[in-house]
């Protein structure tokens, strides 16, 4: 409301985020403002509650709502490239609680328990140093890949989690035949899911004079292609995922000075609770 006298006490941007993707891979009109300087606000009490709601965390809704609230320049978080999501969450945490994240670890050499403040700006800088490589040359073909959207990635992750849970439940079945049939069924679903993730990531294939971007053509080709094609694309996608994932930080033990690799995750509510 425009005439609200409380307006000047509204929260102000705490930091400005340079999107690791540089704003590429967003649908037209999905970013309001300069993708290299998006204002990031600290979380509201409502946002914090979202991150404590297990269902909303699991299905991605919490992340979407909190990004909308804290980085309003990203208009449709479901359609943003998955690449930018971790950097956005780190930026939101910095804007809310500051740059350091208190972490504990047990030294892998002397077993001493250490307390340490990780510097979250280092993790943000890492993402900013990355470049998304989107072309792979496979024999005569030039394959262009794209990052999955947050929606696509979340759907695949939740289904994959569901299948793993089903696998776990099968162990309790007594009838061997039913057990084997159920197992085969689940393995088939897992294979289909990974094929789906794969085809979704391929934006187009250029060969000779043709450009193919119809997913059903691409899917059919993958089914009928030599293993080497499939493998070289898969290796590229796996390497890209690995590169764009959160890295551990090196910390020296206070007691014996041995270097330890300390990892932290964004996928649980702990990250968003003030400590
Ligand atoms: Zn030590």
pLDDT digits (tens, 9 = 90+) for 205-254: 999 999 999 989 998 988 898 888 888 998 999 999 999 998 888 999 99
Ligand 1 centre to CA of 37 (Å) is: 40
| pTM of the complete model | 0.88
| CA 129 to ligand 1 centroid distance, Å | 31
CA of 178 relative to ligand 1 center, distance in Å? 51
The structure tokens listed for 157 are 């992750």
pLDDT of residue 127: 94
How far, in Å, are 35, 84, 122, 242, 251 from residue 129 at the CA level?
Answer: 15, 13, 11, 14, 21
Q: How far, in Å, from the CA of 248 to the mean position of ligand 1?
A: 17
Closest by CA position to 107, among listed 262, 266, 260, 2? 260
* pLDDT band at residue 268 under the 50/70/90 scheme: low
How far is ligand 1, taken at its centre, from the CA of residue 27, in Å?
49
In the reported structure, the alpha carbon of residue 123 is separated from the centroid of ligand 1 by a whole-number distance in angstroms of: 24
């Amino acid at each position: 409301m425009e005439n609200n006298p409380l307006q000047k006490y509204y929260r102000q941007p705490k930091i400005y985020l340079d999107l690791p993707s540089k704003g590429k891979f967003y649908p037209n009109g999905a970013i309001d403002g300069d993708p290299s300087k998006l204002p990031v606000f600290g979380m509201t009490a409502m946002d914090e509650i979202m991150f404590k709601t297990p269902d909303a965390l699991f299905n991605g809704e919490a992340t979407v709502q909190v990004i909308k609230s804290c980085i309003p320049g990203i208009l449709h978080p479901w359609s943003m490239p998955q690449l930018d999501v971790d950097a956005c969450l780190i930026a939101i945490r910095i804007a809310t609680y500051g740059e350091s994240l208190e972490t504990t670890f047990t030294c892998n050499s002397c077993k001493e328990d250490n307390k340490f403040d990780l510097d979250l700006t280092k993790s943000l800088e890492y993402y900013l140093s990355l470049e998304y490589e989107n072309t792979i040359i496979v024999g005569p073909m030039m394959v262009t890949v794209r990052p999955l959207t947050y929606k696509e990635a979340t759907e695949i992750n939740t289904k994959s989690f569901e299948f793993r849970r089903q696998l776990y439940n099968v162990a309790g079945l007594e009838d061997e035949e039913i057990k084997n049939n159920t197992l085969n069924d689940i393995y088939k679903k897992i294979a289909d899911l990974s094929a789906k993730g794969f085809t979704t990531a391929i934006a187009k294939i250029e060969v000779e004079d043709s450009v193919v971007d119809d997913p059903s053509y691409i899917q059919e080709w993958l089914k009928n292609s030599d293993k080497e094609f499939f493998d070289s694309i898969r290796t590229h996608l796996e390497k890209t995922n690995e590169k764009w994932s959160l890295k551990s930080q090196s910390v020296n033990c206070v007691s014996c000075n041995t270097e330890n690799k300390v990892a932290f995750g964004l996928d649980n509510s702990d990250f968003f609770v003030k400590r």
